[in-house]
Amino acid sequence: MTIVSARAQFVVEKQDGNPVTVEGNLHFAKDVTGENWSVGETYDPAMDLSQIKGIEAQK
């Protein structure tokens, strides 16, 4: 499994307009096929990158 991370405070804006605040490390994880990525330490279809409109660091 491959994980990429960065430490800060982030707001993840989903395609449906709902923001999700992530504090600490921002992780991206692959699904079992290795083809899809999501925000989080483990793959979550609700946070799949296809569902994400944008990610911003909070100031």
Is residue 8 within 8 Å of 26, Cβ to Cβ? Answer: yes
pTM: 0.76
Amino acid 59: pLDDT: 73
Q: How far is CA 28 from the centre of its chain?
A: 6
pLDDT digits (tens, 9 = 90+) for 3-58: 676 667 999 999 999 999 998 888 999 999 999 999 999 999 999 999 999 999 98
Query: What are the residue ranges spanned by the domains of the chain?
Result: 3-57
